[in-house]
Amino acid sequence: MTIDIDAGPKVMGDDGEFHATDEAVDFSNVPAEAWISVVLFWALAGVVFTQFVTRYVLNDSAAWTEEIARYLLIGTVFVGAAIGVAKNNHIQVDLLYRYLPHAAGKWLSRGVDVLRVAFMGAMTVLTVMMMEKMGNYQMTIIDLPMNIVYGVCLFGFAAMTLRSIWVAKVHWQRGYSVLERPESTMQDR
């Protein structure tokens, strides 16, 4: 078997130099939650780096870094989860839909959309209720209200609720969901 090395794309020019061009990067479809999550992630990276330097380089660990890193990780997860909802790529079992009749699969997937919206909405309401009960509870080491952390979680749940409504609307407008057609994406219309 012979392999023709000239069959693929040409990256070496006639001048013997490597020529490659990248496609333009398009950030227009990136949801707002993703940017917030990126900011939280890099703040987390900065705090963890500070923790590493103070502990292993200066041999005098800063106590606040562990607590703040924990809260930034919580924020990154809750806000980042909204991205998964927006892209509709959370874990799902679509095997059942292969064996269900089309009409049953359609109604079951609509039920999943309704339950997702209801669950995220309930979590948003419960987070507000918890924040009210927490009142003036302070963080352990830093003298800040704990409701800052729960406020970020509230933002994440509210974003997941709104994105769940949007996903359900897209599914219902196009007549099928990703559960029914796993090869489709949220961008398919």
Q: By residue range, what is the domain housing residue 136?
A: 32-174
Residues 97-106 as b or e (16 or more Cβ within 10 Å = b): beeeeeeebb
Residue 137 lies in a domain: yes
More confident residue, 128 or 62: 128
Number of folded domains that form the chain: 1
What is the band of 131 on the pLDDT scale with cuts at 50, 70, 90?
very high
What percentage of the chain has pLDDT greater than the value 90? Answer: 47
Residue whose C-alpha is closest to residue 34's, from 71, 69, 86, 73: 86
- Report pLDDT for 136: 87
Average pLDDT over residues 139-167: 93
Residue 92 lies in a domain: yes
Residue 24 lies in a domain: no
Residue 10 lies in a domain: no
Residue 5 lies in a domain: no
Residue 48's alpha-carbon distances to 1, 9, 60, 158, 186, in angstroms, are 53, 43, 14, 28, 35
Residue 185 lies in a domain: no
pTM for the full model?
A: 0.79
What is the band of 185 on the pLDDT scale with cuts at 50, 70, 90?
low
Residues 28-61 as b or e (16 or more Cβ within 10 Å = b): eeebebbebbeebbeebeebbeebeebeeeeeee
Residue 139 lies in a domain: yes
Average pLDDT over residues 102-113: 88
- Taking only the tens place, the pLDDT of each residue in 17-30 is 777 777 888 888 88
- Taking only the tens place, the pLDDT of each residue in 1-10 is 566 655 666 6
Residue 181 lies in a domain: no
- Taking only the tens place, the pLDDT of each residue in 38-97 is 999 999 999 999 999 999 998 888 889 999 999 999 999 999 999 989 888 777 777 777
